[in-house]
Structure 1
Amino acid sequence: MNIRHAFILLLIATATMVSAQTKLAIAEPIATGGLKPEEVNAFWGILESSIKSEEYAVVSRAALKQIMTEIGLATTSDLLNLNSRQKAKLGQIEGVNLLLVSEVGKFGTRVTCTMRLVNASTGEIDKDKAVNLRCKDLDDLADKIDVVLERMLSTDKPQKPLAALLQPVIKDDKAPAALADDFGLLFEPTLIANGYPVQNLKNVTKILKEQGLGDLDSLEPKQFARVGQILEVQALLQVTVTQCEVLVQDYLVEETGNMARVTVGSLNAMLRVIDTSTGNVAASIPAMVRVSSRQMDRQMTRGWTGDDYRQYMVATAINDFFMPALVTVKPFAK
């Protein structure tokens, strides 16, 4: 083979490799508040530099801007609300296959981030690939991005490890008996809706006692591995609540001089994740939830009882604290 033929073959091989790559556009992050514009822009750069797989070719910002202009879109958030005409037009554009759309902002003291993938050929959001993160700060978020993006962009569809959701441990003597049921009723469907298979076990405590195993708090790591074998699960999830309280308080309205009432609530909980392959605690995820009816939508809370506020706090602990953290915790982050 002469040099000319070798060069031609190299060009063909290179062109084939490039055309085989999935063209990924990383849209400008949607700022949801609490962060400076330069911080949002820095996060955009982190996303772009985190695409390390040779399977993907990152579309330039200029090219993405041109694509959005062709479709008639002004902002990134428009990508999440495409009409049928815009979806059809996006599907005709050859310059992109996938679009990564993120939302980032600060909620309280935490930085929150939601990432979604939009299939350019259909304009639809891939619900199985959506990720929610809640981090200490931008540095903490940046540390988790590589793992999360690798998982989101993986073409494999591995089954998430099967988990057993154990009975919550309530350590607050003043907490209502219904609190344990609240976590059971709200946590299991949330896990399943987010693609986490949950073993259908009616009474874990009874099963373990029949096998000569007592209180989970007294077990050694090796025994947790045995628990996993008995229950046929790869992870054990257990919530411990140390404080749950809902109070109605009177306060003075300075503008009018009248007395009014406010409902306040507080919930302190911890989700313990045990990897049964090792018996070790893979993560302890804290949740500190504080609510006040003065800071909530009156239309939403109209007619609410103490039970409603308690269930709202439980749902907040699950959705804003536990679920965003699970995506980076072994064995789920394998």
Structure 2
Amino acid sequence: MSSTADNPTKYPPRTAPISSIEMPQFGFGCAPLGDLFVETSEADTRLALDTAWDAGVRYYDTAPWYGHGLSEHRLGGLLRQHSRQGYYVSTKVGRVYLPAPRGEDKRVQWCGGQNFEVKYDYTAEGLAVSYTQSQLRLGQSSVDALIIHDLDQGYHGDKFDRYYQQLKDSGLEYLHNLKSRGEISSVGMGINALGDFEFFADRIDLDFFLVAMPYTLLDQNSLNTAMKRCIERGIKIVVGSPFASGLLTNPTNPDVRYNYGPVPDYIRARAIGLQDCCAEFNVPLMAAALQFPLLHPAVYSIIPGARTARQITGNMENFNLNIPRELWTEMKNRGLIVPDAPIG
């Protein structure tokens, strides 16, 4: 399979403008718009998006994986109403979609979503098809950042080496060529597990990692490994799951999730300890969860997910709440966060 360097005209440049806005500190994570955990109506998701825009949110992150294209379709309904230069948008590459065979339901891992069949492809050609499909769903001829999605060792198992080789052989070059031609502004990579974060922090040239779990108020195990390496290499961090996939919104709720699954008892106990500590300072746990990652010098943005207007409003209120430094110090005193975690 040839690389883009062998055939530089294969992917002609697109001329639509990219946003003049740099990556803001606060964004809208659009996974819930793909019916993650809960099926959500068109009316509710539209109200959430309109509320976010009216409140000044200008950074939106989505992916083909979210509802097998549903999140991108829904987000596109908002973005098409506004000037392309007025917002920052990122989506992800690595999955190509095909119509599901007649009579088969391929909506795996989503409560609703669209019935399409997914194929993984990290070659230049595969990433180009993935990007084109996203442009069509979003109704946009450009995005600001493209993010390599779910190239995880645990997720892909014995197929990981093949997909990683595809990325090294041609996929990463394709993304950097897009950036060098001004068609995107940044190249990112999504990370869900600490082992993958540590593996790629030394092995791949990126503008940023989108880190979904390995650095939160509950987990700072990456602090002196991958996070430190990102500082040394000048790689930015976007935190994509500041609520640890839900637990830090309400740790006493028996139905809440951690790392997208059931909550281990010891993790729930620590989350409740964090909540109790916050209560002594009259600070909502959600506010601490949103603001803590940004105290790290490598973290540029947080993009909490939301599916309703109420969640968007609450996220923004908690993001803007004034938190006393003494809260972070007390968390360290109680062993709730690691002693050398940056706190301001």
Structure exhibiting the larger radius of gyration computed from Cα positions: 1
TM-score category, normalised to shorter length: under 0.3
Higher strand share: 1
TM-score, length of structure 2 as denominator length: 0.25
Higher relative contact order (CA 8 A, sep 6+): 2
TM-score, length of structure 1 as denominator length: 0.25
